[in-house]
Homo-oligomer: A and B are copies of this chain.
């Protein structure tokens, strides 16, 4: 990719239209801030277009250009009814792994609201390794989830795994989650790019940093700028004591490369409840823009992933400590 920064937005738009007319199939991107990007290095030569001397040309742009800091230097801030995500915000997403009952999600929403979290997570369509495992309550779960979110003035966030479920889930949720196993489900990414609700994109188990940014680019390229990234641990040779290996360095690495918010999911990284708190504190210290944490009032009875669920009381303590860390860094 090659980026041209033109003297003004009008000039950029004019060149964009000209190129688009000449090469309708080529990748040609336009941004209000005078920026233009083209895939084909030879396109300008072929069209005999000579750039003015006041046009700045960046030759080596990343393939995931719209997700890059060069293309969009300012932090992306995502706004929903109850949440601001990105920039200096520290956003907490919490809730049970799966929606278990109306009563349960209401109790969990109450607890979540108490901790200062603004987004209520919970799965009604669950990606399970084995087909005989509990697969979620489907629409009944979505309904309960929505009601609980409304009752406690929280945003609702839930996972989508199938393009065919889009209309159904879209009828309920505020924020879509794309799970690690679907990070390169490109059809799903395109579909979520064709609407404007925020998308929380989890890093795949063996996705490189560049793979993750390219996955985000699918959503951005389709027209939805409201994407945030969630590091949740990668698969490595050692999974004796943790389910995955949290790649905590991914936070500063990504924040340098992209303007999109970067959150951490310590629950899935750890796979063990007693590791959630330490990983959450480390996440706050390294500058993650938020956390996604699984809670349960009775972890041992949780329908899914009880081993990694913490109690609402533990979540409250985590929130106090992460605030203290963030405050200490601001003062320092």
Contacts and interface: CB of A to CB of B under 8 A. Distances in A.
Given A217-B131, A285-B285, A324-B332, A251 B278 contact: yes
A162 B165 CA distance: 12
| 9 closest A-B pairs by CB | A206-B206, A162-B187, A285-B285, A328-B328, A181-B184, A324-B328, A27-B132, A282-B282, A282-B286
A320 B261 CA distance: 27
- Chain A interface size range: 35 or more
Contact of A63 (B130, B214, B281): B130
Interface string A161-193: 111110000000000000001101111111000
Interface in A259-302: 269-270, 274-275, 278-279, 281-287
Number of copies: 4
A41 B54 CA distance: 37
A19 interface: no
Contacts of A158: none
A208 interface: yes
A196 interface: no
Contacts of A236: 234, 236-237, 245, 247
A127 B253 CA distance: 26
A210 interface: yes
A99 interface: no
A288 B120 CA distance: 32
A321 interface: yes
B284 A285 contact: yes
Contacts of A74: none
